[in-house]
Structure formats: structure tokens, C-alpha cells
């Protein structure tokens, strides 16, 4: 029964991941995510069932459109597989609970924001607002730590707003709103961990880009993906990460 539950969850993650790809490609262009139906972005041919089965269609078609032969972006199976794996990890963390269902929605929203920010360096308000609304419901129905969530939103958004003011706009407004939204979900401790992880991973990535000679010190790197990465880690593994840090810092034996 346990194996079946994980298998169904993984399959659900794949199917939702397919929809996430639609959102990633269409939302930045102001297009509807419901109409027109899925079609090849090169030849415009409407895709059938066997063209749309997550991951497996990409492998079966060898990464090419069956109608025009043009290459299919590797993003499609990557997003589908990523969403599936994260759903399974969430299930192992929360079990089949309401917390799992809410967290799955947040994780999928973070994937959308990550890829859109990578491609377009924007964090669409409609996704952030959606996350905020679902986050408020999560606090009311599951978390029920209202003050902690309020402080998390104020601390997350306020700290990044302060950075934006000090650096004269080097921190984007989308990042500020994203952190405020995540503060509702994660609370004060979670948003603090998200901030630290975002800056650490962002710094490592920037140094890697410079070392690989793919850019310079002034190369613009979207920060949203690192916020999303930190938030996902905090959501799923806040206690283990905190315990590890306290041991390394010498506060625990």
C-alpha cells in the first residue's frame, strides 16, 4: 500500500509538472494557460495523448516533435521529473495529510517562478498572489501559528526591501514580494533560514559563473531561483538543517 501511494504521488507529480511547463511558457507572454490546447511551438500542430505523456513521450520521441522533427526543449521532462521527485519527498516528510497537499501547491508554484525568473528575470505577480492566498488558507487550516506567519511576512519582505533601498534597486520588487509571501508559509524561523540559504547558494553560483568565465562580477543573475531553493529546503527539512548547523557551530554535541 505504501509503495502504491508513493507511485501514485509520483505520477501525480509528473502530470502536474506537464501543466507547470504550460504556465512557464505562457504566463510571461500574457497567454492563457487553458487555451489554445497544447501544440508544437515550432509547427503549431495540436499534440495528441501520446505526445503529452510526461517524460515518457519525450523519451519515446527521442526529444523531437513527431510532426515536424524539431527538437523539444529538455525543460519539459526536467520540470515534470523535478515536480514528481519533490512530491514524493513531500509525501515522505508530511505523509498523506492536508499539510502535504498545501505544500505540493507551494512547491509547484516555486518551480514555475524559478524557471520564469531564469528565462525572463521576472517573478509574475499572479503566481506570487496565488501563493499568498493559498498560504493564508494553509495558516488558517493547518499551521495555525498566526503571529509567527505575520512576523515571517514582515521580516522576509521588510529585510529585502531594506536591501533594495540600501543597494538602490539592486534587489528587485518581485524578490521582495516573494519573500513576504513565503514568510506567511514558513514563519520567522523558516524565512530566516530561506534567506541564509538563498544568499549562500546565490553566492556560490555567482562565483562558479565567474570561475567558468561565463560572466563577470557585474553579470546579472536572477535571485528568485535561489530564494525558491532555500524556501523548498526550509519547508521540507527545517529541523534537520537547523540541527546540523547547531552541531557544526558547536551549540550541540
Q: What is the mean pLDDT of residues 78-88?
A: 98
pTM for this prediction: 0.94
Instruction: Report percent pLDDT > 90 for the chain.
Output: 70
Higher pLDDT, 202 or 250: 202
Tell me the pLDDT tens digit for each residue of 161-213. Answer: 999 999 887 788 999 999 999 999 999 999 999 999 999 999 999 888 888 76
Long-range contacts, 204-211 (Cβ 8 Å, 24+): none
**CA distances (Å), origin 37, targets 32, 71, 79, 175, 189:** 10, 20, 19, 32, 42
**Is the confidence at residue 52, as pLDDT, over 70?**
yes
CA 239 vs. chain centroid, Å, equals 20
Which of 6-20, 43-57, 235-249 has the weakest average pLDDT?
A: 43-57
Amino acid at each position: 500500500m505504501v509503495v502504491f501511494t508513493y507511485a501514485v504521488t509520483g505520477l501525480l507529480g509528473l502530470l502536474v509538472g506537464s501543466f507547470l511547463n504550460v504556465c512557464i511558457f505562457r504566463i510571461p507572454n500574457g497567454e492563457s494557460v487553458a487555451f489554445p490546447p497544447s501544440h508544437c511551438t515550432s509547427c503549431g500542430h495540436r499534440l495528441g495523448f501520446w505526445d503529452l505523456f510526461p517524460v515518457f513521450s519525450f523519451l519515446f520521441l527521442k526529444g523531437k516533435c513527431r510532426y515536424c522533427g524539431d527538437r523539444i526543449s529538455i525543460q519539459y521532462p526536467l520540470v515534470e521529473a523535478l515536480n514528481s521527485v519533490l512530491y514524493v519527498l513531500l509525501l515522505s516528510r508530511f505523509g498523506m495529510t492536508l499539510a502535504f497537499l498545501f505544500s505540493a501547491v507551494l512547491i509547484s508554484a516555486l518551480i514555475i517562478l524559478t524557471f520564469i525568473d531564469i528565462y525572463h528575470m521576472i517573478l509574475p505577480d499572479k503566481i506570487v498572489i496565488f501563493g499568498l492566498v493559498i498560504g493564508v488558507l494553509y495558516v488558517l487550516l493547518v499551521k495555525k501559528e498566526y503571529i509567527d506567519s505575520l512576523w515571517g511576512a514582515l521580516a522576509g519582505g521588510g529585510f529585502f526591501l531594506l536591501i533594495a533601498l540600501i543597494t538602490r534597486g539592486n534587489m528587485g520588487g518581485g524578490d521582495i514580494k516573494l519573500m513576504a509571501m513565503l514568510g506567511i508559509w514558513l514563519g520567522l524561523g523558516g524565512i530566516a533560514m530561506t534567506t541564509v540559504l538563498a544568499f549562500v547558494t546565490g553566492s556560490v553560483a555567482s562565483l562558479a559563473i565567474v570561475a567558468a568565465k561565463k560572466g563577470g562580477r557585474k553579470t546579472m543573475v536572477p535571485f528568485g531561483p535561489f530564494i525558491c531553493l532555500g524556501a523548498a529546503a526550509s519547508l521540507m527539512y527545517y529541523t534537520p538543517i537547523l540541527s546540523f548547523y547547531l552541531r557544526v557551530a558547536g551549540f550541540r554535541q
